[in-house]
Chain A
Amino acid sequence: MTGTAATDRLDGTLHGRFLRGLAIAPDRPAFRVGGREVSYAQAHETALTWAGTLLDGLSAPPATVGVFANKSAEAYLGTLAALYTGAAVVPLHPDFPAARNRYALTAAGVGAVVTDGRGAGALAELLPDGATVLTPDGSGAGRVLRPRPELALAAPRPADPDDAAYILFTSGSTGVPKGVRIRHSSNRHYFSVVDGRYDFGPDDVFSQTFDLTFDCAMFDLFGAWGSGACVQPVPLRGLRTLPAFAAEHGLTVWFSAPSAIDVVRRTGGLAPGALAGLRYSFFAGEPLRCADADEWQRAAPDAAVENLYGPTELTITVSGHRWSAASTARSANGIVPIGPVHPGHDHLLLGPDDRPVTTDVADPVEGELCVTGPQMCAGYLDPAENAGRFVEHDGRTFYRTGDRVRRFPDGELTYLGRADDQVQISGLRVELSEVTHAVRTCPGVTDAAAVAPVVDGEPRLFVFHTGEPLPAATIARHLRDLLPAGMLPRHYRHLDAMPLNPNRKTDRKALKERAAALLAVPAGGGAGKGSAPMTPEVDAGNAQLDQPAGGRVDQPARYLHDILDTAAATWPDSTAISDSTGAWTYAEVARLSHAAAGWLRGQGVRRGDRVLVQLPNMRHAAPLWFALSRLGAVFVPLNPGMKDFHLRSVIADSEPVLALVAADPGDRFGAVPAVPVGDCWSAVQDAATTPADATSADATPTGVVPVDSADVQPDDPVAFMYTSGSTAAPKAVVLPQAPVAFAAAGIQAMLGYRPDDVVFCRSPLSFDYGLYQILLATLAGAELALAADEPEVRLLRQLRSTGATVFPAVPSLATALVKLLARDPGPTSLRMVTNTGAALPQAVIDGLRAGLPGAQVVRMYGTTECKRISIMPPDEEFDRPDSVGRPLPGTRVRILDADGAEQPPGEVGEIVVTGPHVMAGYWKLPELTARTFRLHPDGEVRLHTGDYGHVDTDGYLYFSGRRDDMFKRKGTRMSSIEIEAAAMDVPGVRAAAVLPPTDTRDLTIFVAADLPPTTVLRELAVRLEPAKVPAVCRVLAEFPLTLNGKSAKQQLTAMLEAETR
């Protein structure tokens, strides 16, 4: 072909639009990602190199090229490079379930994929054998190409107008996604409409909010690139600070799903004029409410606000309505009209009988919108999917949108709702039958029905299920492997049987009404919930909490040894606990716990006695704890690193009758008998393997004489937890049987450990988070793998070698893991990382998600005094990133002001907890106990945590700081936490700790970084109000850590005081 012909053929292609932008503005940025700016010329050159390298590495030009990346530089360059090869782009979302991506790869026939470093590891598991991967630096496993500039194409390869420009997958009715091919010619028409309608130019900056697997992202990219404008991805943080973000990045063109408006509003970004820099604001993907459009218009007074409409099958959007004062006159249900169908298209409305409604009337008509024209796709990858989606009329084929609309005589359309059971949820099309199908595949479920009643203007997925009364969390976890996050139902209800309609089919209408009624229960007794129709109680009840009816939450075991005995009966041969020297099954742990109880009794241990246990993490701790539980005695775990000075105080305070230690302790324990665990264990093992007296009726089948636990009471202490690191006298929290059992069951109900889980525990068992892992694993029949005593640098290797699926972490461990994953990417078996101890910086959360694709990161918050206060349900991990979650099922959190008055949502006050998980108090400290565990006149004990925070209208808790963290400076109330969070946001800062001002010292911040203090303070001044910027910044290479891995402010204070002395 001639060069001219090739150029002509490029003109009509999607990538031809980029070439247009290149010609207009070669040196202007094509996109900016994370502070990196890539010009049109650079992007062009890179894409030519990548495309050339791909073509060189393949035996023939590919028909499709996958891009396994999202909203990153690699994603944008990969999209362009894929088109430059002449192939169709297949965007693949790295966070989608592997099964879905694998299906897409196969269905689209993808043999070559561009990915970033992050995706390379996950991709290796997805790709068919022999597939080719290109990564920017050549890293990754398998057949990986590294871009080679000498292979760069001289020019992009053209494509035929009928060739697919991209292939996307939408929710399918048969339970598998539907692949849609969108041609270059369809895009050409679409963008000709765009070019005629708007005046984009090189000075424009386009927001990029949509995932690339969603076709609206094609507007973001090629709308900008056809006019020489810049593409600017908007991270969640940007959305939450949108006025500042928009101003900083010079955004002029906004495009998002309408649900973003609510986020911006809730974060205070919709004040009048707050988005004055915007010239255009587009919304698509779900119905746009008039009230939202109006408020957005006030915030962006100079912007043309438009509601765009269109299914993927009709190429991005196929109609648009510009918002004005006159819009509401034509709205229905408070939804902004969607405008007339794009020029060049014909449409018709189908009535209930599937026949076109009359068109020659002056009044508005209603029906299902069907469209034909250049933007209509040619059909689905699987032609079987075409059935029912297209309709013939007058010899032409129309696409049935499934949307009911009202048409006015001038052609304007108003959206009325879905014609069938497809719904749009957060911009994602959900076929209810697909959700139903997925629920039915959950083991234990007999039948299911997903409905989506509209509550408060939003469709909400609600699942009814029959069969076993499974907890919602169990079904949700099952669905997580099958459905993208946006399609996961939040509400579940078990039924004995599905209601049937007269045709003996599931009465979906009745279910939908029932779901709507359940969701719309007005706010109950809780104060200050306002008019929010979704009360915390209802939401929690449906989603997580009251589901295990008759299960462990409603009637939890009250004794720890009961939990063990249940596990031993249910999973006798499953591995219960392992360490570097071996493992025991649940049956073995139960048997050993009886034997150990007998041995302990022989040592004189009686109900109420304290036994110190100072061991490294070894599996013996589990049977020992259960043994003490059987006796009604108290397990007092001590950190092996505890200093003698502290140890003497603890001995004096707890008055133990016995100590179990790793090795001969000399005289460290004074008068207390201290037995090396090895000596104890040879006796226990003997007892456990010696046949019992055959005449004893009490002999268990395993041969051990069981210990009688009849005297043990639910409020008998089963453990003391000593707080560490304080210079004051030691303080033990008394943990009685029933509250511990209740807390463990509640945590397990929310986290949902499974029998096939391997829980990897690196936290010391003297830290309650570590100790409770024994109970959580036992409740689930999971394996608890105790980390071998190896440095943190082995953490990742340990996770891999144990096959860990659950990793309870604290921030320092999580941070180490992110770093280790960066140097050694590759798969792990992890499916869940939980965090407690302190808030996890967002960068660490992001790092975990990047390094552990598929693993959930669970935020939790608690205190030893009631173990766990709140957990962010794992399936909501991406929601409310600043929240620490919801209270444990069956417990309550109040926010009280200094006078004890309950605060309304949004107001900060002390976090006060009530519920069956509140522990008994502090050992031998009645005054402190009375102050902290306050007996309310109504007879309820209220735990005053000394922590400050607030709840939102949905009942989610937000932590502001400790009482000690809250202070006033220059008349402004602030918390150390917010300043530390701002510091952590500064690139290069690894850790931060704020010391509040005192009489002799102004507000001071310590950071671990390689930056000059002045830089840190300057960066903080960008992020904080002036009063909150510290006066002094100290830079350290590393922070001192306490034994539990928390940074120690006391040590920092001491450092500072030593200097100034």
Chain B
Amino acid sequence: MTDPQFEEILRGHLPFLPADEPLTPDTNLTDHGLDSLGIVDLLTALEGQYGVAFVDDALTRETFETVGSLWSVLDGLRPAAV
């Protein structure tokens, strides 16, 4: 579902996630250490990596709730896969 870059960036912002624990779509980001300031950094990192800009309406707690919610928003912003 996701790609390795996404997972790598995400793990960098989840200090409570052990390296050997897999990410699943239901993994709760807040529970794994993503705080409100971490969201700002994560957002910047993802936008930089994928060359996209999150629209204002996507900047909600819900977007940053789980791995799956974040990926689906990000995936929707990316140009159609080639």
Contacts and interface: CB of A to CB of B under 8 A. Distances in A.
Contacts of A790: 60-61
Interface string B41-80: 1011001000001001001110010000000000000000
B23 interface: no
Contacts of A822: 44
Contacts of B61: 790-791
B12 interface: yes
Contacts of A794: 56, 59-60
Nearest to A812: B37
Interface in B20-43: 33, 35-41, 43
A754 B30 CA distance: 39
Contacts of B36: 791-793, 816
A1036 B15 contact: yes
A819 interface: yes
B41 A797 contact: no
B37 A820 contact: no
A266 interface: no
A793 B13 contact: no
A800 to B, nearest CB: 9
B65 to A, nearest CB: 10
Contact of B40 (A792, A1037, A1041): A792
A20 to B, nearest CB: 41
A1061 interface: no
Contact of B59 (A791, A816, A819): A791
Contact of A793 (B12, B14, B39): B39
A815 B59 contact: no
Contacts of A819: 40-41, 44
Given A819-B40, A819-B41, A1036-B15, A1041 B35 contact: yes
Interface residues of B, number: 21
Which of A795, A816, A990 has the most C-beta atoms of chain B within 10 angstroms of its own C-beta? A816
Contact of B39 (A791, A797, A1036): A791
A815 B37 CA distance: 9
A820 B37 CA distance: 11
Contacts of A990: 41
Interface in A992-1011: 1010
A1041 B37 contact: yes
Which of B12, B39, B41, B64 has the most C-beta atoms of chain A within 10 angstroms of its own C-beta? B41
Interface in A785-824: 790-795, 797, 812, 815-816, 819-820, 822-824
Contacts of A824: 53
A1038 interface: yes
Contacts of B59: 791, 793-794, 797
Contact of B64 (A791, A1036, A1037): A791
A640 to B, nearest CB: 14
A816 B35 CA distance: 12
Given A790-B61, A793-B59, A823 B39 contact: no
Which of B14, B36, B40, B64 has the most C-beta atoms of chain A within 10 angstroms of its own C-beta? B40
Contacts of A1038: 13, 15, 33, 35, 37-38, 41
Contacts of A797: 56, 59
Nearest to A817: B40
A1037 B12 contact: yes
B32 to A, nearest CB: 11
Nearest to B14: A1037
Contact of A823 (B44, B60, B64): B44
B44 A792 contact: no
Contacts of A815: 37
A790 B12 CA distance: 23
Interface string A293-313: 000000000000000000000
A783 B8 CA distance: 44
A1038 B56 CA distance: 24
Nearest to A819: B40
A791 B60 contact: yes
A824 B56 CA distance: 10
B37 A816 contact: yes
A1048 B62 CA distance: 27
A1010 B40 contact: no
A469 B33 CA distance: 54
Contacts of B37: 792, 812, 815-816, 1038, 1041
Contacts of A820: 40
Nearest to B61: A791
Contact of A792 (B13, B39, B56): B39
A819 B12 CA distance: 17
Contacts of B53: 823-824
Which of A791, A792, A794, A815 has the most C-beta atoms of chain B within 10 angstroms of its own C-beta? A791
Contacts of A791: 36, 39, 59-61, 64
B72 to A, nearest CB: 17
B22 to A, nearest CB: 18
Nearest to B15: A1037
B40 A793 contact: yes
A812 B38 CA distance: 11
Nearest to A1038: B38
A1010 B43 contact: no
Contacts of B40: 792-793, 795, 816, 819-820
Nearest to B43: A793
A1036 B53 CA distance: 27
Contact of B12 (A792, A795, A1010): A1010
Contacts of B13: 1037-1038
Which of B13, B14, B61 has the most C-beta atoms of chain A within 10 angstroms of its own C-beta? B61
Contacts of B44: 819, 822-823
Interface in A50-103: none
B7 to A, nearest CB: 14
A790 B64 CA distance: 12
B58 to A, nearest CB: 10
Contacts of B64: 791, 793
Contacts of A1041: 35, 37
Given A791-B60, A824-B53, A1038-B35, 19 more contacts: A791-B36, A793-B39, A793-B59, A793-B64, A794-B59, A795-B40, A797-B59, A812-B37, A815-B37, A819-B40, A820-B40, A822-B44, A1037-B12, A1037-B13, A1037-B15, A1038-B13, A1038-B33, A1038-B38, A1041-B37
Interface of B: 12-15, 33, 35-41, 43-44, 47, 53, 56, 59-61, 64
16 contacts: A791-B36, A791-B39, A791-B61, A792-B36, A794-B56, A794-B59, A794-B60, A797-B59, A815-B37, A816-B36, A816-B40, A820-B40, A822-B44, A823-B44, A1037-B13, A1037-B33
List 3 tightest A-B contacts by C-beta distance, closest first.
A792-B36, A816-B40, A793-B59
